[in-house]
Structure 1
Amino acid sequence: MAAPRNVTVEIGRQRDVESAKEDSPTSKKTWGSRLEGRFPLTQWEVAAAMSVFLIFSVGLICIYSTMPPADYEKILRLPRTISDLRILRDHLATYAKDYQAQFMLGYCSTYIFMQTFMIPGTIFMSLLAGALFGVVRGFFLVVFTATAGASSCYFLSKLIGRPLILWLWPEKLRFFQAEIAKRREKILNYMLFLRITPTLPNTFINMASPIVDIPFHVFFLATLVGLMPASYITVKAGIALGDLKSVKDLYDFKTLCVLFLIGSISILPTILKRKRMYE
């Protein structure tokens, strides 16, 4: 009787092992079942995302509640076109001048909030910085807020981003992961290239970076330095909103060539190293 009992115990153990593999967060079946559904996040992940969103929202409301009184119906309306931006600039010009410190705090908080939760429209915020604060102050303001917002999005993605990005951009993520794997030794140079050039969307880079194990210090430095050229172009364009017809006019062929030229300089050491290896 001992033999059949041992066989039964062994079969039970195998079933337990197979069940554990299927329930593992890294198992293909688990990820596949997530992707087959309409929404990939679990209840815990949705609760975590909502908690973070609530904390940021409360902070933003507290900041706005301490600002001097104004016509918030006009101030809080996010622009979606260049025409909307011109109207918003006219409404905010006096307010931003009279309450500069409070307005900058509200501006930075709004920009970081939008960047963290991937809300479209940050390019209009960058243009607005140039229109209201000029090139120098607007440039530093945009670089600071864009870097802070991207960093915040990085940590949010580290918390709940993996299933979401696998659901939204599975092919793009595989491509990004393969490119990062080939450039581990010069990952900072490659990240600089991606930030400077419009090769991949910044929103995708913010979300995908922690998923493909890019260290935060590399992500932060590449973001801080890499966003400078595009930020300068956008802020400078904000000064002459009257001459700007569409957001597409910001990045014409000449501007894109300049950005790719600057980006190519960042990966030049990697290219030279590979050339020496094959000589």
Structure 2
Amino acid sequence: MKRKLTAFLLFVVAGCLLAWLFEHWLSLDHLIANELWLRQQVKEHPLRTYLIGFAIYVAASLIPGTAGKSIVYGWIFGLAAGLLIVTLALTIAATFSFCFSRYVLCEAIHRRLGHYVTHIDRALERDGASYLFAMRLIHVPYTLTNYAMGATTIPVHSFIWATLFGLLPGSLVMVYAGSQLPTLETLAEQGILGVVSPQLFIAGTLLAISPIAIRYLLRRFRWWRTPTQVP
């Protein structure tokens, strides 16, 4: 009985807390005000906001499962600045994970993923850094790729350029999609149907078909084989 009463009270407290947060911090008016303030900061202090955004993106990219950041950055910073921040931040975060794997976790990764790493090494011997480039193009899990590559023999400079240029097409699509999203104020005034545009439709279409198209082209020209397909 006491446990049920305690659970009920905790549920009530949690509900009241969520209601308070929604009223004061998650209300549409509050979110719109924060967005307007952030966009004003980007306009008035571009270099500072770019650097802060860059640092936040690097840190977030070191945490697995934080997808969707590129769309948000395109929405806040626009296409050109957003793409620059996203691409450089992803590359730097990937390089950090790669070096940490190579110089700290290499033995542990070989113990847990030795068979997988051996297949990748064989593919790298056959195709060089273009194999990693293809992995980036088809969005093999970002964090797994970083740590697995650190346990292979690929040179650091090859890892950097293959990552930078391999992530660029996907980042471009994601940032472009974000740059076409309306502001919260516009969304509140016009509704969802009121902000639908050809550009937004194109962005959504690119998001949907680009991974499939890239996979098809790589397989069509026999440039890509998964690690399990390596002889």
Alignment TM-score > 0.5, same fold: yes
| Shift in Å, 1:259 | 2.4
Alpha-carbon distance in 2 for matches of 1:86, 1:229 = 31
1:211 is the counterpart of 2:156 = no
Distance 1:228 1:267, change over 3 A: farther
1:143 is matched with 87
2:63 is matched with 118
Structure 1 stretch displaced more, 189-198 or 158-167: 158-167
1:196 is matched with 137
The AA in structure 2 aligned to 1:194 is M
User: Could you tell me which of 33, 37, 42 is aligned with 1:96?
Assistant: 42
| Shift in Å, 1:185 | 3.4
Distance 1:204 1:110, change over 3 A: same
Distance 1:109 1:165, change over 3 A: same
The runs of 5 or more residues in structure 2 that have no matched partner are 1-30, 183-195, 226-231
Distance 1:266 1:221, change over 3 A: farther
CA contact (8 A) 2:110 2:117 kept: no
CA contact (8 A) 1:196 1:262 kept: no
% same residue:
22
1:130 is the counterpart of 2:74 = yes
| Shift in Å, 1:249 | 8.6
* Higher RCO by CA contacts (8 Å cutoff, separation 6 or greater): 2
Alpha-carbon distance in 1 for matches of 2:177, 2:35 = 14
Alpha-carbon distance in 1 for matches of 2:125, 2:135 = 14
Alpha-carbon distance in 2 for matches of 1:95, 1:161 = 40
Distance 1:118 1:185, change over 3 A: same
CA contact (8 A) 1:193 1:266 kept: no
CA contact (8 A) 1:86 1:241 kept: no
Distance 1:182 1:163, change over 3 A: closer
CA contact (8 A) 1:135 1:236 kept: yes
1:174 is the counterpart of 2:101 = no
The runs of 5 or more residues in structure 1 that have no matched partner are 1-84, 272-279
Q: Give the alignment's TM-score, normalised by structure 2.
A: 0.64
The AA in structure 2 aligned to 1:136 is A
Distance 1:265 1:86, change over 3 A: farther
CA contact (8 A) 2:98 2:150 kept: yes
Q: Provide the secondary structure at the position in 2 that maps to 1:241.
A: coil
Q: Provide the secondary structure at the position in 2 that maps to 1:185.
A: helix
Alpha-carbon distance in 2 for matches of 1:145, 1:87 = 28
| Shift in Å, 1:266 | 8.2
Distance 1:262 1:129, change over 3 A: farther
Distance 1:241 1:206, change over 3 A: same
CA contact (8 A) 1:112 1:149 kept: yes
Distance 1:192 1:228, change over 3 A: same
- RMSD between superposed Cα atoms in Å: 3.3
| Shift in Å, 1:128 | 2.4
Q: Deviations over 1:145-173 (max 9, x none)?
A: 11111111111222322365468xx35x5
Alpha-carbon distance in 2 for matches of 1:267, 1:86 = 49
Alpha-carbon distance in 2 for matches of 1:110, 1:104 = 10
Deviating 4+ runs (over 6 angstroms): 85-88
Q: Give the alignment's TM-score, normalised by structure 1.
A: 0.54
CA contact (8 A) 1:192 1:266 kept: no
